[in-house]
Amino acid sequence: VESPFVRDLFTSLNQNSYASSWSFMCRGCETETLAHFGSDNWCLTRSLGSYISSFLAEKFDNRQGRVVAYTDVGLILIYVVTNQSFYVANPVSRQCVEILPHIHAMERFWILGIVTRTENEVVLGYKVVLLNNFTSFLIYSSETGSWSLETVSFPFIFIAQEFNNPISLNGKLHWLAHNPEYKDFLVSFDFYANGDNKDSDRCRVTPFPDLDKTTKFKRACTTCQGFLMYINIVSIAKVDKLCVWRLEREGWQLVSEISTGFITPGFDYIPLGMNPFDDKLVYFWRGNMQGQDLLSINLHNGEFIVHEELERSSDGRVLSSVGGPREIEYIRESYYSSFVLPRWLHPFPN
């Protein structure tokens, strides 16, 4: 059943009915804000966040293990401060690989995340990426089983880079940066590009498309159907519109723009991201000391729904929104990562 033939046959016969389990995780507090599970190949009866929590409790004592990165292929990256070791794990299958620290890891570094090389949704390899003083990458490769130090020269001028929530997608890491004019742009670095390529070929810089507009939310990206997406409410000719862009080879492409008549001055929801498998659904979340609300907006018809804390559809799929921070300022400053399981339960390289 692990053969490519069976996998491809199953996928071709279940293209319309398939929907994998996925969640939005709040970075910093590492709580699950939204969960979608049930009626998939993994036969899950609870959310991915609960699998992560139980796995960490069983594997690490005294809460030593902390999730520092999520992926769309079922892998999480865990960091243990006490011995500075990393672990790559699938919290559902419980497969876990320990990565011993490099001697240079004792120096100051930023944990950028984990990138993967896949084929037909099967992980063939992965790299753990650290950034040291903006001058070099410290990279662990599953294919060599060792760390390497790689000098880097970023082909752009910046005054700050944000590493709170880099996004891993298709072998690349994406993160935010600011130029000397305090304009935001997106940095995309390909860690599986040909090693002979120059940094300027492996690194792409893309200014955000609404720099000349008034926006409601701080800039952050999400993923959907294998693309990097950017969502914001933008004031256009004094009219607020919910705009969604998709990152293409030639730059940002506007894929949706709808009026937001339901957005009032007191609208205090924040965007979580897009449904990883459905490009018409965007989710917003609001939390305070009185309670929490999950809001979805249909980009095709502008309809919005305030969801219950737990909803079950006729096909057995569950949509749950039960976690996340409640302090308003913390909510606004938080970042949210999507964590997605692949279609197939397949071991990753160890």
User: At a CB cut-off of 8 Å and minimum separation 6, what does 180 contact?
Assistant: 157, 158, 159
CA dist 346 and 332 (Å) reads 37
Mean pLDDT of successive 10-residue segments in the chain (350 residues)?
Answer: 79 69 84 82 83 92 85 94 91 94 74 91 92 86 93 77 86 89 88 72 90 89 95 85 93 90 67 92 77 84 82 70 56 80 83
First to last CA, the chain: 20
Amino acid at site 291: G
Q: Which tokens sit at 321?
A: 């929104």
Residue 17: its pLDDT value, please?
56
CA dist 68 and 81 (Å) reads 11
Asked if residue 313 lies in contact with residue 8, where contact means CB atoms within 8 angstroms, the answer is no
pTM for this model (two decimals): 0.89
Residue 189: its pLDDT value, please?
93
CA dist 204 and 73 (Å) reads 23
Q: Which residues of 299-327 are buried (b: 16+ CB within 10 A; e: fewer)?
A: beeeebeeeeeeeeeeeeebbbbebbbee
Residue 181: its pLDDT value, please?
78
CA dist 130 and 9 (Å) reads 39
CA dist 136 and 22 (Å) reads 33
Residue 56: its pLDDT value, please?
93
